Amino acid sequence: MAVPQGTVPVLILREGTRREKGRGAQENNIAAACAIADAVRTSLGPRGMDKMLVDSMGDVTVTNDGFKILKDLDVDHPAAKMMVEVAKTQDQECGDGTTSAVVLAGELLAKAEDLIDQQVHPTVIVNGYRQAAAKAQEILESRTEAVDRADKTTLLRIAETAMGTKAVRAHAAFLGDIACRAVQAVAQRRGDGWHVDEDDIQVVKRPGGDAKDTALVEGVVLDKERVHAGMPPRVDNPRIALLNAALEVKKTEVSAEIRIRDPAQMRAFIQEEENILRRFVDAIKAAGANVVVCQKGIDDLAQHFLAKEGIYAVRRAKESDMKKLAKATGARIVSDIRELTAGELGAAKEVYEDKIGDDKMTFVTGCKNPRAVSILLRGGTAQVVDEMERSLEDAISVAAVAVEDGRYVYGGGAIQMELVAGLREHAASVGGREQLAVEAFANALEVIPRTLSENAGMDPIDVLIALRQAHKEGKRSFGVDPFAMKAADMARLGVVEPARVPKQTLASATDAAAMILRIDDVIASKAPEAKGKGGEPGGMPPPGEFE
């Protein structure tokens, strides 16, 4: 705004604040968001490529998990950070589909930029996108299929589909079976449906061995060994006590001084400490426990007394492990040893110590109807085990989501092509310029099958033509088969995913695109003054260095 001659300009923003307005701000935001989408796009699908991530400490991670890639990227642009939040939300809600959500959000913004070039206002585009997203959710709901907790075949297919895009796809069937059995074990009935708490499934990683050595333990694996060599290494049909109290002589809470002038007093003092510890052990024995898991410390003398009684003991167990043990064995965590009774004890088939790799661990196995289970994950190297863990967690998440919702859809881009066909029909009934936005939304959805075909080395145009024709003929389950290099029936191939995955993908991508499109002014505060390596404030390189 022009300032009249002789008038002193009013400075509202602090000196050094950067501001971008209008079309320039929109273009920069869209470019940053699309750059994030392009970074993970080549990792989509079973034929997608991996990314090597090297952090500031030099640690290397090789993965094609979209959320892991974006989480480890040092993103600075605010619009790009919003795209990372899309992946984070998708991972929290579904555990899978992070790459698809980010790629779709990027494509929605790219299509919106084309409309802006045609003088369509961003608000009109956002309204059209929201209409299209609402209609897409309706269409998606009508295309779902039913699945039940007892339907092991469908759950296994869902888990295998999630793992089929990962580096461990050669073991997808084996690991998928473990994931499904774990989910079925911890699922609890709530009203008319099921609820799965994924925290009840413990994953313990140990490099070494082969992926086939991975095992499901119907109980809990403790990263602890027995506290005394004289204790039995194995206890059959154990009665398990969970203690949130130290088997030690309690120290005073205030500073105190004891003066002993006679050796007899010293002996009596030591004897009393010994009696206290012996009473602790007697109370445990009287309750009938022969296995003790203590969240706090166990005195050396108490260890000796426990070993003499043939009681297996573990100390300083994690609180999370204590809660899992309570769920798995039916025991109750006791804070006062004097209140320990037979009713507080848990049961299992056996408790034993075993050496896995270089570490000794305690296994609590054979629990009846365990509400908490453990998966001991083995693999050749630490990097392999880490990638297996990410893949297994995805499989557990999608199986859990499928059990909770009881609905699934066909993958491989099949559900997206159904949404495209439905939205294109719907667009004709939308008046005004919003129709252009609805059509753009439909076109953007084709990015999923197109990217799947591109990453497999196929001609995306030929694949899209074949898919459009198949869905026009009512073949609702047809999608991209990257291995046969053609459009194929996903129902026959068993490529399925929980309905919540595409639902959340639509919601997250639409919200992110709408938020970015509505921004027309970016105000960035001045960075704090600090001399960095680049010689400029905040360590930024001199202007033009990266140009």
CA distance 240 to 296: 16
Q: Which positions ≥6 away from 376 have C-beta within 8 Å?
A: 204, 206, 214, 215, 217, 221, 356
Q: How far apart are the first and last CA of the chain?
A: 31
Please pick, among 61, 63, 65, 144, the residue that the annotation labels catalytic: 65
Query: Directed axis angle between helix 382-405 and helix 152-163, to 10°?
Result: 140
| Ordered DSSP codes for 254-274 | S-------SHHHHHHHHHHHH
Please pick, among 91, 200, 299, 394, the residue that the annotation labels catalytic: 394
The helix/strand/coil state of 478 is strand
In the structure, how many helices (H) and strands (E) does the chain have?
A: 17, 23
DSSP 208: B
CA distance 289 to 305: 14
CA distance 381 to 98: 26
| Catalytic residue status for 214 | no
Please pick, among 61, 63, 89, 99, the residue that the annotation labels catalytic: 99
30, two tokens: 């869209």
Q: How many CB atoms are located within 10 Å of the residue 142 CB?
A: 9
Q: Is the dihedral of CA 427, 428, 430, 435 positive or negative?
A: positive
Q: What is the distance of C-alpha 19 from the center of its chain? A: 37
Please pick, among 98, 154, 161, 362, the residue that the annotation labels catalytic: 98
| Catalytic residue status for 451 | no
CA distance 139 to 500: 14
454, two tokens: 């591109």
Which class for 437: exposed (0-12), middle (13-18), buried (19 or more C-beta within 10 A)?
buried
| Catalytic residue status for 99 | yes
**What are the catalytic residues?**
65, 98-99, 394
